[in-house]
Amino acid sequence: MEKVNKHKFHLGYVVTLTFAHFFHDTFSSFLSPILPLLIKNLGLSLSLAALLSVFQRIPSLLNPFIGVVADKLPLTYFVIITPLVTAVTMSLLPISGSYLFLILLLLTMGISASFFHVPAPVLMRNVSGKRIGAGMSFFMFGGELARSVGPLVILGAISMWGIKGTFRLIPFGVAASLFLYFRLKNIPAHLISDKKEEKKYLSSLGTVLKRHRKLFIIITGIAFSKSIIASAFTAFLPTYLTSRGSSLWLAGISLSVLEFAGAAGTFASGSFSDLIGRKRMLLLIMVLSPVFMLLFLFSHGFLIIPSLVLLGFSIFSVTPVIMALVQDSEKEYPASANGIYMTLNFVLNSIVIMIIGVLGDKIGLENTYRLCLLLSLPGIPFVLMLE
């Protein structure tokens, strides 16, 4: 067993949790690349297609309560089990013959994702010692790398086995959970939780909100502005590109390029924020993201790829910095604080995706993307409000 040290950066556990995020989010990223197929096969409008992403995120409303539960139970339980649940539901997604079955699968996956994404960053914080920003960068790198690999995995599975054969991916989810069980079953208890037993079950939510009301208002403004661009691309980039004549494979590869660049951005931003400060890092990101989106909108042909690289590197860099900011601010109830933030993040993403879907039906995705660029700008003054 690795020697315990509360202030040490436990690289072995950090890497394991990074892989856990990678395993989970590889499967959870299947919806966007196959959305053009679902739209075609089920005759969906962009609004109904956007609603699928909303159903996927509805369970995030439970995040604060999941955070409270996670403050009371060993965090490893959630990290080990959820990749399997997500793998099962998302591998069945392409074979769904009805909109209702899609909703049931996505709701189940959303519950699984919430039970992963609330406790896992707290466990990462516990094993990162004093290098919380670096730990969050590792964690988000795993997730963003997964979202670059996920489209290739599901499209490759459809190419090899057909749209009815994607259930063959489920054993990989079983293998992932078994790997995590053997890697995390002996993790030292003090790295899982250092909470006092006398803490009241539900009091942590009110306590955290009371302590950090201003911070969460600021974070809401920043997260909304970030979501305007990020959600437009993660949910609708393949649909946008196929509507312009691109093949499903090319659209999926473009999404992978965006997400792979995002993986590099998330890996760098948390560590840089440890050096230059959270506020300066967020300000840099919020200024550059609209610039790179403008570059994408005016790019054609080969130039689309480098513009997506720059855009992906910037828009996904916000999350690890905010997560580190939240963990810096709340030492007593970290899972509850993270649950509140994740709820804000996922709910804002759901609202934004629905708005984009409705606007896409009304004015087209091209004009919707231009409007998203303008709506992302108010995030800059929110960053300036940080102390």
The pLDDT assigned to 1 comes to 41
- Range of weakest confidence among 9-18, 173-182, 267-276: 267-276
Residue 190, pLDDT > 60, answer no
pLDDT over 80 (residue 246): no
Indicate the domain borders of the chain: 11-190+202-384
| Residue 207, pLDDT score | 79
Of 121-135, 147-161, 227-241, 287-301, the least confident:
121-135
Task: With cut-offs at 50, 70 and 90, classify the pLDDT of residue 7.
Answer: low
**pLDDT tens per residue across span 215-226:** 888 988 998 888
Q: Is the pLDDT of residue 197 over 50?
A: no
Report the pLDDT averaged over residues 328-357.
78
Checking if the pLDDT of 2 tops 50, the result is no
Which of 43-52, 85-94, 117-126, 355-364 has the lowest average pLDDT?
117-126
More confident residue, 188 or 35: 35
Question: Comparing 91 with 200, which gets the higher pLDDT?
Answer: 91
Confidence of residue 147 (pLDDT cuts 50, 70, 90): confident
pLDDT at 201: 39
For the chain, the three-class secondary structure string (H helix, E strand, C coil) is: CCCCCCCCCCHHHHHHHHHHHHHHHHHHCCHHHHHHHHHHHHCCCHHHHHHHHHHHHHHHHHHHHHHHHHCCCCCHHHHHHHHHHHHHHHHCHHHCCCHHHHHHHHHHHHHHHHHHHCHHHHHHHHHCCCCHHHHHHHHHHHHHHHHHHHHHHHHHHHHHHCCCCHHHHHHHHHHHHHHHHHHHCCCCHHHHCCCCCCCCCCHHHHHHHHHCHHHHHHHHHHHHHHHHHHHHHHHHHHHHHHHCCCCHHHHHHHHHHHHHHHHHHHHHHHHHHHHHCHHHHHHHHHHHHHHHHHHHHCCCHHHHHHHHHHHHHHHCCHHHHHHHHHHHHCCCCHHHHHHHHHHHHHHHHHHHHHHHHHHHHHHCHHHHHHHHHHHCCCHHHHHHCCC
pTM above 0.85, yes or no: no
Instruction: Give the pLDDT confidence of 78-105 residue by residue, as tens digits.
Output: 889 999 999 999 999 988 888 999 999 9
- Predicted pLDDT of residue 67: 62
Percent of the chain with pLDDT over 70: 89
Residue 206 has pLDDT above 50, yes or no: yes
The domain 11-190+202-384 is placed in CATH, from the list 3.30.1330.20, 3.20.20.60, 1.20.1250.20, 2.60.40.2550, at 1.20.1250.20
pLDDT at 74: 63
Structure confidence at residue 192 (pLDDT): 59
